[in-house]
């Protein structure tokens, strides 16, 4: 399958999952800012690796925030996410959603902090 088509399908899946998490998911374990950063679809359309960025709520202390717990909750609802993708994206086979954590924001914050510490 062409790379452009796979990227287009990935963007559509990302749009649907983002909308569902924002508007429909009511799981209390999923707290803070949870956003989809990227979706990589395999060439055979069997799997969609979905990368989530998880930032803690603004008014909480770090002890209550556990990204692994939120990732586990996202894994619990991946069947529901796949069902919603199947309803909204018109493709023959709906890929299985694989939930993965995107640490790029955390890494960027650590690097920024290190660079700021070097300036002082």
- Domain boundaries defined on the chain: 1-119
pLDDT, average across residues 73-79: 93
- Report whether 97 contacts 48 (CB < 8 A): yes
Q: Which two tokens stand for residue 22?
A: 């924002």
Q: Which two tokens stand for residue 37?
A: 């950063």
pLDDT for the residue 57 = 67
**Of 1-5, 33-37, 105-109, which one has max mean pLDDT?**
33-37
Distances (CA, A) of 6 to 22, 36, 53: 24, 17, 22
The model's pTM is 0.81
Topology (CATH) of 1-119: GMP Synthetase; Chain A, domain 3 (3.30.300)
pLDDT, average across residues 90-116: 88
Give SS3 for 19: helix
Note the pLDDT tens digit of each residue in 22-64. 999 988 888 878 899 999 999 999 999 999 988 776 665 555 5
Distance CA 52, CA 54 (A): 6
């Amino acid at each position: 399958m062409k790379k452009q088509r796979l990227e287009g399908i990935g963007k559509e899946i990302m749009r649907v999952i983002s909308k569902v998490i924002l508007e429909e998911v009511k799981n209390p374990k999923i707290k803070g800012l949870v956003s989809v950063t990227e979706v990589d679809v395999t060439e055979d359309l069997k799997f969609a690796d979905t990368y989530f960025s998880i930032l803690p709520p603004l008014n909480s202390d770090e002890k209550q925030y556990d990204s692994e717990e939120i990732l586990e909750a996202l894994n619990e609802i991946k069947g529901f996410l796949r069902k919603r993708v199947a309803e909204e994206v018109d493709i023959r086979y709906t890929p299985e959603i694989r939930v993965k954590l995107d640490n790029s924001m955390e890494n960027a914050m650590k690097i920024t902090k290190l660079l700021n510490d070097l300036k002082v």
